[in-house]
Structure 1
Amino acid sequence: MKKLILILTAAVMAVSCSDNLEELNQNIKDPTAVSGESLFSSAQKQLADQFVTPNVNLNNNRLWVQYLQETTYTDESNYDQVTRAIPDNHWREMYRDVLKDLDEASQIIAANEDPITSESNENKLAIIEILTVFSYSNLVETYGDVPYTEALDIENLLPKYDDAKTIYADLIVRLTAAQGKLNASNGSFTAGQDLIYGGDVDKWRKFANSLKFRMGMVLADVDPGLSTTTVNSALEAGVFESNADNGSYKYSAAAPNNNPMNDNLILSGRKDYVAARTIIEKMKELDDPRIEKYFAGKVDLQLGEVVSVTTSGTTTTITFKDKIGLDPLPVVGVDEAYLQGPDGRISLGVITAMGEKTIDIENITQMPAVEDIVTVFLYKGGSIGKPSPYAGNVKVNPRLTDPTEPGVLLSFVEVEFLKAEAAARGGYNIAGTAKEYYDAAITASFEFWGAEGLADYLANPLVDYDTAIANSTSDPKWKEVIGTQAWLGLYNRTFAAWLSVRRLDYPILTKPASAESGFPVRYTYPAQEQTLNTTSYNAAASAIGGDTPETRLFWDKYYTFDF
């Protein structure tokens, strides 16, 4: 009996210690809720990764604007959007992993009434709103009409698509309101929560105004009134003033927080990309010193076996056994010819003329002998849309694959080119000239990449603004001049470069060898939307003029490519 009483007493005590048995099954090491700050950090990371990654399943803009070329599988270089479901993947990343996290973060932070931490709520909410506008603006600039007023509602799986121009105008209003709420006197995100600006409210204000400036310029050809008020307002409020203001995500040395270029080009062990011929040949044509900062690994190529050497005055002509079969050919006046000596290459001098089987060199440094092999050592890019051997073409500079290289979302270089465009167009409250901002943009690019030779480059008749304008064949002339240099200055910027090429229609890119469409001026809508949200999809496709890669969006008035 005494043993029975002890057992019953122990049982009663055990039950009384927990009047809710479910509590006994809780894992106290797992958080019961995710903080708004954590969701914001996650959204930042996903956004930066999506804009920086070269992964062909997610982001092919480096291929489309012909910064890079694929080595083996060339579907994406030839504008194939379907095989790897690229539109579906970008849509998912932006809506689910960026915008939904930002939306949840906003709701959680807005509900925070803690007297100690709630003082920073307003700044945090404004910063979240700025990134939200950035993300939606990308979706509009990428697809056209998209879900907006009914987006992010988990109870509505079939949202309607809103008119792209209406969304864009509303985003500008939201952006203006958000930057107006920023207050440097109050708290903000910590450096560990905000890996773009470390919670610096003044930096975020410049980011918002710079984004607003770009959005205003996007509208320049279709709504001059809204474009003017938007641009003037942004410039007055204060945009980026140096490369130190860049909106750049800070990556870490180790995976999974390393730069996606490091992930895809180094850690993967794959050799999927080389430089594209288009940018290599343009930079060689302009004698652009940034080429060695953008790319690395010149390649040796044989000009041929020498059969004769003759000299007339200061000109030496070297004749080869066979036709010079290089594709592309060396650039006359730029590329040098070499002999291979016991201690390495021996430069013969710059090639000054070229025939079918001959090259000329002025003041040759050493006479080659019959049967010598003459080579060139140069930057060579892969043929657009064709398999391009990794070993036979140059690669990206190691800086781009450094795990800690920041991921740039918005830059001072871009802002200065936009100022040049605004000055060239006229009608905006901007004090400087197009040439001044054009020069400032190129200067900022040289500084960002640590390139030398700026003064000579700006003086080059092919680069000098006034000379280039006089020689331009575009209408208006500034489009070709500013558009080409903006494309060079926005190297590695994926969506920003693609937007610039679509807006300014320059430079004229190369038609890929097996192009599956004209130049893609938009992503097609996701296949999943076509299948599951058919009614909304059909309405949107009809509204924008057809769901094709060539359908120009509401702001894209012109198209100058011949394919």
Structure 2
Amino acid sequence: MRSNPAIPMNRLSLRTGTALLALCLLLTSCDALDSHFQEMNVNPTQADQINPNYKLTDIQLRISGERYENWRTNLIYSSTMIQHFATLPTYWAGDKYLYIASYSAAMWDRYYPNIARNIEDLRVQVCEDPAQVNLCSITRIMRVFMYHRLTDLYGDIPYSEAGLGYLEGITQPVYDSQEFIYNHMLTELEEAAQALSPGQQTFSTGDLIYNGDVEKWRKFAYSMMLRLGMRLVKVDAGAAQQWVSKAIAGGVMESNADIAFVPHEDPAGWRNGNGSVFLADSSPHLSEFFVEWMKTHNDPRLYVYGQVPVDGAPAVGLPNGYDSNTISSHPSWIPCEPADSPPSPCGMDVYMDPHPVIRGEDDPMFFMTYAEVELLLAEAAVRGWHTGDPATHYANGVRAAMEYLSMYGADAVIPNDAIEAYLAANPFDPANALKQINEQIWAAVLLNEYEAYANWRRTGYPELTPVVYPGNVTGGTIPRRLRYREQEQVANPQNYQAAISRQGPDLLTTRIWWDVAQ
């Protein structure tokens, strides 16, 4: 991890001892945790009394994620569907619109057995004591963060009864409708934000995100309310406006010092899951669409996000929807000649790699940024839901999106004059405001591909051209969701069937509740 003078140093420390102790206490696998509970001579329907700080550390690290789900859900599916990255291997199924059951279920398989159970255990432990109102509120906010990712990917999911196997013996939780889940999550954020009290006990070093700073947690809660409120624009514009207005009135992030992220600067500890993927798999390249978008806008992030494999070569992105057998048919392909007269670059050396500065195992994992908040405020102003100036919010968002990259390290620093030149060349355009704002969100949330994918489904921006890959399962359309874990058909058949009867077939093409076709 590298320091940034805009971010307080105490937030850049992973507090390795706390994290390792939490992992030792909470254990690292579902099977090990089962054995742990069986060995404890305690009532399994009561929350255990491990220090809440250790529990929160474990929850935050698990939401940041291991290589497993970041590889499959965040990168293989989300990042290529949204055309940030492109690859040739067919197991990178996202930009070929293929279905691989275990990959589609990867987040489900990690979040439910581990995080959901631990959050419910922590919630019971801290929410029964009024003196621990801050611990309870922070836990509720983290719970919303976890479930908003799950429901945005799958739609109707176990929510109200999830994670209660040990506490209440519920082994076949009901699938709640996404409409119910969103209404409940927004209410949870409102109640948690209002309950936070600076004078009460809070988390300490176990809180990797804000070190127990209740005012920053309040801003995060209202910023999440802004994000989730905006999700409703297609399905219920009135409710969207109501929640967006509440979020703005409550107080959202005000600078890059408010960013919600998990640090990972100790490579011997819990590593950045995206970085672990890039270390293990060199398949991803910046996509042709993304590279061309940045070149068209003369975007200084091009050489922060990407790196040409051969010095001095032009910036070229890999087209989505190709494999090792078909890429040679694309106009960008340059075959390598015999060794005695090789052109440079040729073959895969034509295409930009992700820059090393953004693919480290010691990089921060961003949950929500101030840049996203400002850009959402710009959209709210355009929609007439906010009295602020959309041009100012747009400029603030773009500037923040370029400045926060310095948190990756010195090679990611974009000089201020380059930022100002970009804003001068790409000023706010009222005639194309929603397109412009949401393209900037897409560019700003690189590597938080869950959010890029969700915001594209919400807005339709950027305007992506679907690929037509042989054998795709979507009819050549970009998937609208991921499919449920296949074992649910056996493990929880009644509730699984109720969900698909209500939501629609368990297919990649089925739209979730807030993703109304327009």
TM-score when scaled to structure 1? 0.72
Instruction: Confirm or deny that 1:483 pairs with 2:429.
Output: no
Counterpart contact for 1:247–1:408, Cα < 8 Å: yes
Counterpart contact for 1:62–1:492, Cα < 8 Å: yes
1:61-460 correspondence to structure 2 within 5 Å: 61-80=78-97, 82-110=99-127, 119=131, 121-154=132-165, 155-191=169-205, 193-266=206-279, 268=280, 270-297=281-308, 299=310, 377-387=313-323, 390-426=348-384, 428=385, 430-449=386-405, 450-452=413-415, 453-460=418-425
SS of the counterpart of 1:527?
Answer: coil
Task: Report the Cα distance in structure 1 between the residues aligned to 2:492 and 2:514, rounded to whole angstroms.
Answer: 26
Give the residue type in structure 1 aligned to 2:394: Y
SS of the counterpart of 1:197?
Answer: coil
Superposed displacement of residue 82, structure 1: 3.4
Counterpart contact for 2:101–2:485, Cα < 8 Å: no
Among residues 41, 46, 56, which one is paired with 2:57 in the alignment? Answer: 41
SS of the counterpart of 1:150?
Answer: coil
Give the residue type in structure 1 aligned to 2:362: T
Q: Is 124-133 or 437-446 further displaced after alignment?
A: 437-446
Q: Is 149-158 or 165-174 further displaced after alignment?
A: 149-158
User: What are structure 2's unaligned runs of at least 5 residues?
Assistant: 1-38, 42-47, 325-346, 406-412
**How many corresponding residue pairs?**
435
Match of 1:339 in 2: none
Counterpart contact for 1:479–1:505, Cα < 8 Å: no
Task: Report the Cα distance in structure 2 between the residues aligned to 1:488 and 1:52, rounded to whole angstroms.
Answer: 24
Task: Report the Cα distance in structure 1 between the residues aligned to 2:354 and 2:92, rounded to whole angstroms.
Answer: 20
Match of 2:503 in 1: 544
Match of 2:24 in 1: none
Superposed displacement of residue 144, structure 1: 1.4
Task: Report the Cα distance in structure 1 between the residues aligned to 2:373 and 2:319, rounded to whole angstroms.
Answer: 32
Larger % of helix: which? 2
Give the residue type in structure 2 aligned to 1:522: R
Counterpart contact for 1:41–1:194, Cα < 8 Å: yes
Superposed displacement of residue 530, structure 1: 2.2
Task: Kindly report the root-mean-square deviation, in angstroms, between the aligned alpha carbons of the 2 structures.
Answer: 2.5
Give the residue type in structure 2 aligned to 1:437: H
Give the residue type in structure 1 aligned to 2:514: W
Superposed displacement of residue 483, structure 1: 2.0
Counterpart contact for 1:46–1:98, Cα < 8 Å: yes
Superposed displacement of residue 35, structure 1: 3.3
Q: 1:547 to 1:454 in 2, by over 3 A?
A: same
Instruction: Confirm or deny that 1:56 pairs with 2:72.
Output: yes
Task: Report the Cα distance in structure 2 between the residues aligned to 1:43 and 1:486, rounded to whole angstroms.
Answer: 27
Superposed displacement of residue 111, structure 1: 6.1
Counterpart contact for 1:184–1:201, Cα < 8 Å: yes
Larger % of strand: which? 1
Counterpart contact for 1:435–1:465, Cα < 8 Å: yes
Match of 1:502 in 2: 457
Counterpart contact for 2:67–2:273, Cα < 8 Å: no
Task: Report the Cα distance in structure 2 between the residues aligned to 1:271 and 1:148, rounded to whole angstroms.
Answer: 36
Superposed displacement of residue 418, structure 1: 0.6
Task: Report the Cα distance in structure 2 between the residues aligned to 1:70 and 1:131, rounded to whole angstroms.
Answer: 33
SS of the counterpart of 1:465?
Answer: coil
Counterpart contact for 1:35–1:105, Cα < 8 Å: no
Task: Report the Cα distance in structure 2 between the residues aligned to 1:432 and 1:111, rounded to whole angstroms.
Answer: 40
Superposed displacement of residue 436, structure 1: 1.9
Task: Report the Cα distance in structure 2 between the residues aligned to 1:51 and 1:197, rounded to whole angstroms.
Answer: 24
Give the residue type in structure 2 aligned to 1:405: D
Superposed displacement of residue 158, structure 1: 2.0
Give the residue type in structure 2 aligned to 1:458: L
Superposed displacement of residue 51, structure 1: 9.9
Q: Deviations over 1:138-170 (max 9, x none)?
A: 222221111222222212222221121122111
Task: Report the Cα distance in structure 1 between the residues aligned to 2:67 and 2:428, rounded to whole angstroms.
Answer: 31
Superposed displacement of residue 249, structure 1: 0.4
Counterpart contact for 2:229–2:239, Cα < 8 Å: yes
Higher-Rg member (1/2) = 1
Counterpart contact for 2:259–2:370, Cα < 8 Å: yes
Superposed displacement of residue 136, structure 1: 1.6
User: What are structure 1's unaligned runs of at least 5 residues?
Assistant: 1-24, 113-117, 301-344, 346-376, 471-476
Superposed displacement of residue 110, structure 1: 4.4
Counterpart contact for 1:299–1:380, Cα < 8 Å: no
Task: Report the Cα distance in structure 1 between the residues aligned to 2:243 and 2:295, rounded to whole angstroms.
Answer: 38
